[in-house]
Amino acid sequence: MLERLTKWDVELFVYLNNLGIEQYDAFWIFVTQIKHWVPLYILFFVLFYVSFKAKNALFASFATILTFLITFGFTRLVKNGVARIRPSFDEKLAGTIRVLQESSHFSFFSGHAASSFAVTTFVVLLLRRDFKWIYLAYVWPILFATSRIYVGVHYPSDVLVGALVGTLFAVVLYKLFNKHVPLKKPKDRVDLSA
């Protein structure tokens, strides 16, 4: 059964990867690089300060960074434990796929997908009451994670599992953090200095 699922995963990867059009390569290479999303991260932190008192905003920022670090650390542990070779390094796929970027670590599961979905979900949970449009932030992890298939470094299952793990970590950590320091809307702000 696992063998069949792996075969379907590889076949789906090859199909999706080959949908790539050369004119859009620069776009996907741009999208897949973390540094190009820095303005979005800054926006998240600015929104914390708009939505909460300074001390709560600082806590929200710290909690978001901690969520990222925990997700990132767990991802690395799993990658090293599973040790799945990236499609870009699979000799059987050489010549049949488009590789636009090289990556050094193992493939399963996608750190880009896990981290971006973790951060986005955590931020959405924090800000959803104040900014109804915050759900649009999910455009980022969807594009970011999808780019990993397009540039040839992750199988679809890597991306899907990464997205699920990141979302799960965010929900659990949000509940834990919110239990100890409930972050309310501006009119219901909690004073952490009391």
What is the C-alpha to C-alpha distance for residues 63 and 160, in angstroms, rounded to an integer?
24
CA–centroid distance for 51 within its chain: 23
Give tens-digit pLDDT for 14-53. Answer: 999 888 888 999 999 999 998 999 999 999 999 999 998 8
Mean pLDDT in residue range 66-85? 95
Statement: residue 74 has pLDDT above 80? yes
Statement: residue 193 has pLDDT above 50? no
Mean pLDDT in residue range 143-171? 96
pLDDT reported for residue 183: 64
CA torsion through residues 54, 58, 60, 61, sign: positive
Q: What is the pTM of this model?
A: 0.87
pLDDT interval class at 182 (50, 70, 90): low
Mean pLDDT in residue range 157-179? 95
Cβ count within 10 A of residue 80: 10
More confident residue, 102 or 158: 158
Mean pLDDT in residue range 88-112? 87
